[in-house]
Amino acid sequence: MTTLAPVAASRKVPVTILTGFLGAGKTTLLNRILRERHGERIAVIENEFGEQGIDNDLIIDSGAEQIVEMNNGCICCTVRGDLVRILGELRQRRESKPEAFDRVIIETTGLADPGPVAQTFFIDEDISAYYAIDAILTVVDAKHASEQLDAFHEAQEQVGFADRILLSKTDLVSSDELTDLRARLVRINARAPMKPVHFGETPIADIINVGGFSLDSILEIEPGFLDEEDHHEHNDDVKSFAFTSSRPLDAARLQAFFRDTIAEHARDLMRYKGVVEFAGFDHSVVFQGVHMMMASDAGRIWSEGEVRESRLVFIGRNLPKDALLARLERCVAS
Amino acid sequence: MDSNSSSRLLCKSLPVRDDPNVAFAEPWEAKAFAIVVKLADAGRFTWQEWVECFSKEVAAATAVEAAGGVPKTYYEQWLDAAERMMTEKGLTSKEQIAARRFALGVTGVAHVLK
């Protein structure tokens, strides 16, 4: 299908939001990315807050990257405005010198909630016209994740927001511990694939062009997640749940469902995504959202004989899963 | 955009409203207007094609009014004609418009991700 929007979107500067808890290895990973010869010129916005900074000497030596540091404390509380300002400055620099950089990576503090950082790209018109989020990546320290998830809701939120989870320090834990951790992470976020990173080493392809906010990207749900039962040792506040239906949904009812759900739970509804069949549509309809920001588009045409399964995934904090699932059940077209 | 060609287009068929001081009542009207001018300018359809397409909408609205009904507003006619024109030219599809309206209907225009 010919559309105008994707052309414009592809011209925007892709932005990666790199989150992860204190000491998880974000900076190691970032230094690794910057050192790798991948032909990408990357502008880094770093929000230093009690963490070891980027090795500036190293970066300057390599000559190819631009570093912009932000030292104004925590992104989520005070410097959303600064993020706007700094992205504006980067834009000016790139407009006078297009080869300055091809993409931006924002490294957030260990305690940052990725939500407001992500929302900056949707709410600010100037920013959203020029930049597009590629993905939120969350580095999870396999050794300490379990304690961190218990102790800090920010850690759960970072996992919940992720389009991809990068597991660091997997060599420091037993395979049983790793299996448990993976299972816990899947319950928090059923749609983010997990990739191990070893001392910050991971193929650049795991990091860029992830398309986490792209409506075209496939809605992946971790295998086994749908069949899992709800009894677990850890009862995290942030959880995901999925709804699937092999019968078409009613567009107006689903729209009303989202209107109500967002009105009631926008703050706790972190990410949601769906590929659905609406009664009377030849195409699938795809949508996704962050809190109360939402996008939808026509997906591909269902092919002949294809099982038209609607799939929706919700990730949020203390969401009334059973009540929402019951309401979704009523969105099935009669 | 080539300002000469667009101003030529504008001169040809700029709608005249009842109140010359109010060009657009709402921002979306200006947007809808600009999109059509810009697409015509980009050669996606000719201005003549647009005039024909829009005339049909105007005629339909006039008929509604003549029959005692409440016709669509000027820019509602403009928007519906624009959607039809773009669909006919394969710039978008009915399905895509309907699908995009899904999020719009949920969150309102200020919260639709672009």
Residue A281 in domain: yes
The pTM of the full predicted model, rounded to 2 decimals, is 0.81
| Residue A31 and residue A172 in one domain | yes
Residue A4 in domain: no
Measured CA to CA, the distance from residue A275 to residue A133 in angstroms comes to 20
Inter-chain contacts counted by CB atoms under 8 A, chains A and B: 79
Token pair of A292 as six digits: 């109360």
- Region B62-68: mean pLDDT is 92
b/e per residue, A242-260, with b = 16+ CB within 10 A?
bbebeebbbbebbbbbbee
Helix, strand, coil share (%) of chain B residues, nearest 5: 70, 0, 30
Domain boundary among A221, A256, A272: A221
| Residue A95 and residue A199 in one domain | yes
Q: What is the pLDDT of residue A231?
A: 59
Residue A228 in domain: no
Number of domains observed in the structure of chain B: 1
Residue B21 has pLDDT above 80, yes or no: no
Q: What is the pLDDT of residue A323?
A: 97
Token pair of A224 as six digits: 């086994």
Q: What is the pLDDT of residue A60?
A: 29
| Residue A160 and residue A268 in one domain | no
Measured CA to CA, the distance from residue A317 to residue A306 in angstroms comes to 34
Question: Based on the number of CB atoms within 10 Å of its own CB, is A217 exposed (0-12), middle (13-18) or buried (19 or more)?
Answer: middle
Of A3, A4, A296, which has the smallest distance from its Cβ to B103's Cβ?
A: A296
Which residue does chain B place closest to A125, by CA atoms? B114
**For residue range A72-94, what is the model confidence (pLDDT) as tens digits?**
333 332 335 667 878 888 899 88
Are the C-beta atoms of A316 and A290 separated by less than 8 Å?
no
Q: What is the pLDDT of residue A2?
A: 37
Q: How many residues does chain A have?
A: 334
Residue A229 in domain: no
Least confident interval from A41-50, A177-186, A280-289, B79-88: A41-50
Token pair of A172 as six digits: 């420091």
- Region B21-29: mean pLDDT is 79
| Residue A141 and residue A260 in one domain | no
- Residue A92: give its domain's CATH number: 3.40.50.300
Range of the domain at A133: 11-221
Q: What is the pLDDT of residue A230?
A: 57
Q: Which of A294, A297, A302 best tests the B interface by mutation, with the highest count of B CBs <10 A?
A: A294
For chain B, percent of residues with pLDDT exceeding 70? 77
| Chain A closest-CA separation from residue B18 CA (Å) | 33
Are the C-beta atoms of A249 and A277 separated by less than 8 Å?
yes
Q: What mean pLDDT, rounded, does chain B reach? A: 82
Domain boundary among A153, A187, A221: A221
Q: What is the pLDDT of residue A108?
A: 81
Measured CA to CA, the distance from residue A297 to residue B11 in angstroms comes to 35
Tell me if A293 and B99 make a contact (CB, 8 A cut-off).
no
Q: What is the pLDDT of residue B110?
A: 65
Q: What is the pLDDT of residue A164?
A: 94
Q: Which of B85, B107, B109 best tests the A interface by mutation, with the highest count of A CBs <10 A?
A: B107
Which residue does chain B place closest to A213, by CA atoms? B113
Of A69-78, A99-108, B75-84, B103-112, which one has max mean pLDDT? B75-84
| Residue A244 and residue A149 in one domain | no
Number of domains observed in the structure of chain A: 2
Residue A129 in domain: yes
- Residue A307: give its domain's CATH number: 3.30.1220.10
- Region B44-61: mean pLDDT is 94
**For residue range A93-141, what is the model confidence (pLDDT) as tens digits?**
889 988 888 889 988 877 777 887 887 787 777 888 899 999 999 999 9
For chain A, percent of residues with pLDDT exceeding 90? 41
- Region A188-195: mean pLDDT is 92
The pLDDT-based confidence of A178 (bands split at 50, 70, 90) is very high
More confident residue, A257 or A212: A257
Q: What is the pLDDT of residue A292?
A: 82
Neighbours of A187 (CB within 10 A): 21
Q: What is the pLDDT of residue B1?
A: 41
* DSSP summary character for residue A268: T
Q: How many residues does chain B have?
A: 114
Residue A1 in domain: no
Domain boundary among A156, A188, A221: A221
Question: Based on the number of CB atoms within 10 Å of its own CB, is A306 exposed (0-12), middle (13-18) or buried (19 or more)?
Answer: exposed
The ipTM value here is: 0.76
Question: Based on the number of CB atoms within 10 Å of its own CB, is B35 exposed (0-12), middle (13-18) or buried (19 or more)?
Answer: middle
Are the C-beta atoms of B114 and B57 separated by less than 8 Å?
no
Question: Which residues, other chains included, contact A16 with Cβ-Cβ below 8 Å and sequence gap of 6+?
Answer: A103, A104, A105, A106, A133, A134, A135, A136, A137, A207, A208, A210
Place of tokens 């597009």: A132
**For residue range A296-326, what is the model confidence (pLDDT) as tens digits?**
999 888 888 888 899 999 999 999 999 999 9
Question: Which residues, other chains included, contact A187 with Cβ-Cβ below 8 Å and sequence gap of 6+?
Answer: A225, A228, A232, A234, A236, A239, A240
* DSSP summary character for residue B111: G
Q: Which residues of A touch B111 (CB under 8 A)?
A: 292-294
| Residue A210 and residue A243 in one domain | no
| Residue A216 and residue A242 in one domain | no
Question: Which residues, other chains included, contact A137 with Cβ-Cβ below 8 Å and sequence gap of 6+?
Answer: A16, A17, A18, A19, A20, A162, A163, A164, A165, A166, A207, A210
- Region B65-77: mean pLDDT is 91
For chain A, percent of residues with pLDDT exceeding 70? 83
Residue A67 has pLDDT above 50, yes or no: no
Residue A230 in domain: no
Q: Which of B102, B104, B109, B112 best tests the A interface by mutation, with the highest count of A CBs <10 A?
A: B102
Residue A312 in domain: yes
Give the strand order in the sheet containing A310-317.
Answer: A238-245, A310-317, A269-276, A283-290, A293-301
- What would you measure as the largest C-alpha separation in chain B, in angstroms? 43
Range of the domain at B26: 3-113
Smallest CA-to-CA distance from B15 within B37, B42, B41 is with B37
Which residue does chain A place closest to B93, by CA atoms? A1
